Amino acid sequence: MKTCLVVDDSKVVRKVARHILERLDFSVREAADGQEALAECQDMPPDVVLLDWNMPVMSGIDFLRALRFANIARRPKIVLCTTENGIGHIRVAIDAGADEYMMKPFDRETLESKLQIVGVA
């Protein structure tokens, strides 16, 4: 079973994402900010991270930058999931290391297609 780490400061978003992911046969873990997510990845890297942009403590972009220098066994695929949809924002995310980009709100089909694109579904 593939593992997905859902990183979002909103409990509601984490709950919705968990619901969809479990139906797609993923084992789901959660983190409320980038720092928690980094610790999770160092402890046991998931196959994929569903990552919010704007979060307290450590943003999604700062998490991506920190991940480059983190000592982790296997780099997970990263799907950035945000309300920002400007070309500039997308480029920043890609440059920081995101593998895919997805706008909120999203549905099951959209999330599944992104997971297929990054090769974990």
Which value, in Å, is the radius of gyration of the alpha carbons in the chain? 13
DSSP 68-114: HHS--SSPPEEEEEES---HHHHHHHHHHT-SEEEESS--HHHHHHH
Q: How far apart are CA 55 and CA 13, in angstroms?
A: 12
Which 69-108 positions form the footprint of other proteins (CB under 8 A)? Answer: 85-87, 90-91, 94, 98, 100-103, 106
Closer residue to other proteins (CB): 11 or 91: 91
Closer residue to other proteins (CB): 66 or 94: 94
3-state DSSP call for residue 49? strand
Number of residues that bind other proteins (CB under 8 A): 18
Q: Whole-number minimum distance, CB 81 to other proteins, in Å?
A: 10
Q: Which residues bind other proteins (CB under 8 A)?
A: 85-87, 90-91, 94, 98, 100-103, 106, 109-110, 113-114, 116-117
